[in-house]
Chain A
Amino acid sequence: MSEVIVITSGKGGVGKTTTSANLGCGLAVLGKKVALVDADIGLRNLDVVMGLENRIVYDLVDVVEGNCRLKQALIKDKRYDGLFLLPAAQTRDKDAVSPEQMQKLCDDLKEEGFDYIILDCPAGIEQGFKNAIAGADRAIVVTTPEVSAVRDADRIIGLLEANELRNPVLILNRLRIDLVQRGEMMNIEDVEEILAIDILGVVPDDESVVIATNKGEPAVTNNDSKAGQAYRNIVQRLMGEDVPIMTFEQAPETFMDKLKKLFKK
């Protein structure tokens, strides 16, 4: 059984590409055969985040236009068995492919025997979005706990439902525990109340993600990283296991902690 999952958000910069890369790697580490598809034609990033930029020969548009076979364009990630990347074209734009072509591409990938096909959707609700969701079986909506991102997520969920992608699930990304505890950031319940969809996972704001992304090594493989743990939990939930949402509550600072901090400065 193979499944096409689209990762989308509406707003840009909330972590669609990072989430795609981490989920892809996480699933591959657990022995699944995964294809990561970058649907962001003209503004590709997934190859960079995966550290595979220098190995691109053919891309998605080449496959769709018949310039190469699908297998030729799939880049095998040598670090993780079973992980492949289908990069986007950089010198073309979203109009280079149609929703019907994307649907066919997804069907072809399913025939290749992939367990999971993860589509990294571009920001926005235009052609690129329509292409990305055309072949998808289910959708994951990524948002950050900011009002603007949540508004866009709400818009996207409405569009997904209108396009027969029922019951999308949510990943709440970059949650700042300290801000939430001070009541200065929306918490999980606030976001859940507005969007009224199931939460697949919550990823805390973690600098290790930025460091890992810049190195081209997804954080999911980093055992010391909180965000890495959050991504591993999400991967398990994707595979149907019941893993509770991490709690992020930090113990309040003691007097000694404050004193230590003071001397550090």
Chain B
Amino acid sequence: MTNQNYVIFKGTKDGITVIFDPEVPFPILCGQLERKVVEAGKFFDHVKTSMAFKGREFSAAEEEELIQIIKKHATMDITFVKTENSEVRELSELLAKEMTPGNLTKFHKGSLRNGQKIEFEGSVVVVGDVNPGAEIKAGGNVIVLGQMKGMVHAGCKGDTSAFVSAIFMAPIQLRIADIITRFPEENKRGPKPPEYAFVQNGQIFVMALS
């Protein structure tokens, strides 16, 4: 019984494909996978590869268990795991993400004057200027098609991947997630190209859009 091959490793040009028997119980698969990885020994060491699981469907927990078994016995660097049902899952996850308010965008036509404020859990696009004293607080990204001279807070719920972009960037204060920065005076003078600000290594960077 145990001599039968329930787990087959196959090298393809995209990486390693592991084909699993669709019938046998999951623990037996695990046992055989573990044995095969140990047998292969140093063959998988220091390999950087993507891995595809084929032959049967796994739950997320099962997938994780399989990956842990491989990692335990080989110093393989698995960059990406592709499973039978992965495409379906990714799409449904993406759709669910689209549907949450965090992924909606609010469009504001016209300028924001001193004392006016936009607060929104998704992203915000302003078609106009944002004057000093005006505030934008967005859960997502902020794009200003005009002069950004007020206070802007992107990713205000802690999303460090949020960015701020403006035709003319000269905010009084710029915040992304929980990072706060004063915009340098010398960068507030024009003419200059449109810019965008993002977080890298816990710091806000501003770059020209070219």
A154 contacts chain B at the CB level, 8 A cutoff: yes
Q: Which of A152, A161, A196 contacts B114 (CB 8 A)?
A: A152
CB 8 Å contact bits of A144-161 with B (1 = contact, 0 = none)? 000000011011011101
- Nearest to B116 among chain A residues (CB) is A158
Q: Quick check: is B131 within 8 A (CB to CB) of the other chain? A: yes
Minimum CB–CB distance for B166 against chain A, Å: 16
Instruction: Give the interface SS of chain B, mostly helix, strand, loop or mixed.
Output: loop
A1 within 8 A of B: no
Interface residues on A, range: 10 to 19
* 0 or 1 for each of B112-139: is its CB under 8 Å from A? (1 = yes): 0111100000000000010111000000
Least CB distance from B32 to A in Å reads 70
B114 in contact with A151 (CB, 8 Å): yes
Note all chain A residues with C-beta closer than 8 A to B131.
154, 194
Closest to B129 in A: A196
- In Å, the complex CA distance between A174 and B115 comes to 25
Q: Say how far A77's CB is from chain B's closest CB, in angstroms.
A: 36
In the complex, which residues of chain A have a beta carbon less than 8 angstroms from the beta carbon of B113?
A: 154-155, 157-158, 161
Binary contact readout B172-183 vs A (1 if CB under 8 angstroms, 0 otherwise): 000000000000
Which chain B residue lies CB-closest to A194?
A: B131
| Chain B residues whose CB sits within 8 angstroms of the CB of A157 once the complex forms | 113
Q: How far is the CA of A196 from the CA of B149 in the complex (A)?
A: 14
Which of A151, A159, A161, A196 contacts B132, CB < 8 Å?
A: A151
Alpha-carbon distance between A196 and B111 when the two chains are bound, in angstroms: 9
Pairwise interchain contact A154-B133, C-beta atoms closer than 8 A? yes
Interface centre among A152, A154, A194 (most CB of B within 10 A): A154
A156 to chain B, nearest CB (A): 8
Closest B residue to A147 by beta carbon equals B132
CB contacts (< 8 Å) of B129 on chain A: these are: 196
Report the bound CA distance from A152 to B131 in whole Å: 11
CA distance A180 to B131 in the complex (A): 23
Instruction: Give Cα A161–Cα B133 distance, bound, in whole angstroms.
Output: 17
In the complex the two chains form, is A155's CB within 8 Å of B111's CB? no
How far does the Cβ of B84 sit from chain A's closest Cβ, in whole Å? 57
Contacts of B116 in A (CB 8 A): 158
A162: nearest chain-B partner, CB-CB: B116
Interface residues in A87-111 (C-beta closer than 8 Å to B): none
Question: What separation, in Å, do the CA atoms of A220 and B168 have in the docked complex?
Answer: 41
> With A and B bound together, what is the CA distance between A155 and B111 in angstroms?
12
CA distance A154 to B133 in the complex (A): 9
A151 and B133 form a contact (CB under 8 A): yes
Q: A residues within 8 A CB of B133?
A: 151, 154-155
A194–B134 alpha-carbon span in the complex (Å): 13
Instruction: List residues of A (224-259) whose CB comes within 8 Å of B's CBs.
Output: none
Q: What residues on A are CB-neighbors of B114 within 8 Å?
A: 151-152, 154-155, 158
Cα–Cα, bound, A155→B131 (Å): 9
Taking CB atoms, residues of chain A closer than 8 Å to B111 are 196
Q: Contacts of A194 on B, CB cut-off 8 Å?
A: 131
Name the distance in Å between B170's Cβ and chain A's nearest Cβ: 12
Nearest CB of chain A from residue B204's CB, rounded to whole Å: 25
Q: Chain B's nearest CB lies how many Å from the CB of A74?
A: 36
23 pairs, CB–CB < 8 Å, chain A vs chain B: A151-B114, A151-B132, A151-B133, A152-B114, A154-B113, A154-B114, A154-B131, A154-B132, A154-B133, A155-B113, A155-B114, A155-B115, A155-B133, A157-B113, A158-B113, A158-B114, A158-B115, A158-B116, A159-B115, A161-B113, A194-B131, A196-B111, A196-B129
Interface residues of B (CB under 8 A from A): 111, 113-116, 129, 131-133
Interface residues of A (CB under 8 A from B): 151-152, 154-155, 157-159, 161, 194, 196
Complex A-B, nearest 8 residue pairs according to Cβ-Cβ distance, in ascending order = A158-B113, A155-B114, A154-B114, A155-B115, A154-B113, A154-B131, A158-B116, A151-B114
